[in-house]
């Protein structure tokens, strides 16, 4: 999605993290379901729209 928005064709470059292995979180997956369940929160901006806004020229 980011390449599409920027008009690029870049491959990610993976580098070693300086964070010690025993405390590094290798995989994360955002889950807003608890926010929705407890507070009724819903996102106002879709991911694609957010990327457009971040990538648009000043």
In order of start, what are the domains of the chain with their CATH numbers? 2-55 (3.90.25.10)
Give the pLDDT of residue 36.
Answer: 94
* Exposure class string for 23-41: b at 16+ Cβ within 10 A, else e: eeeeeeeeeeeeeeeeeee
pLDDT tens digits in sequence order for the chain, 58 residues long: 999 999 999 999 988 888 898 998 878 888 889 999 999 999 999 999 999 999 988 7
Closest CA to 57 of 5, 4, 1, 3: 5
DSSP 9: -
């Amino acid at each position: 999605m980011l390449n599409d928005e920027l008009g690029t064709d870049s491959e990610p470059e993976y580098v070693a993290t300086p964070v010690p292995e025993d405390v590094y979180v290798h995989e994360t997956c955002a889950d807003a379901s608890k926010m929705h369940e407890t507070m009724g929160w819903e996102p106002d901006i879709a991911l694609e729209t957010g990327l457009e806004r971040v990538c648009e020229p000043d």
